[in-house]
Structure 1
């Protein structure tokens, strides 16, 4: 990751519809250089997608909850993967992570209302391998998910 990579990522993150030719003009480098850099960044896994970013709130799901799940630890119970498969089938589950500390999985969910959040939690808890859960509701987003500052810092190293 160097300064050109960081500037390229920032340009495409802030203006996702900019084309390779326009990016090369704005950054003052050859079109082939931009394309090669984008291909390398995608091939190495730094750039993971080119799709639109969606707003759950604009899709009618303004409530965000974070669930900490404890799962049955018996070897024949299926473990994390079986629970992950169950969670992946619930549209309101945005992400799930295996964690350390109190709990085994951390799950971000969205809902249409606080009442609807109960329906989502009930759907999550329908998996018998989940033995306990706790939920917190997000009141406001202070720092949204972001990676650009990390890319800038990586380029500066």
Structure 2
């Protein structure tokens, strides 16, 4: 069973904005290639399970809308002297079926069977990448997506 992480995309207003943030903070890592770091204080205890195909699912405006494949973890010394962890994800924004989810601080585990399906690439589903986020959410609520 695949294990994933849920994380709020704080301050992000839309899928396009999320793509901009991912592009802005991505860099070339010597081990993992191009990645984007997501900083957290606590290393997930189940990181071995997460690295077997897990992703970080992003909550944007109280809706799970996208994910990025998780590739590694790195500890570092934060400015305040504490140890922190970068969760390294591929700089891909893979749209998922919109699913309402209230925000929280930090991250949470998400079981594979509870994760929303991808909107593109899975089972020949149609791409909704050009659709505005708000319209996608409304159509999902109406049962039309």
Tell me the TM-score normalized by structure 1.
0.24
Higher CA-based Rg: 1
Larger helix proportion of the pair: 1
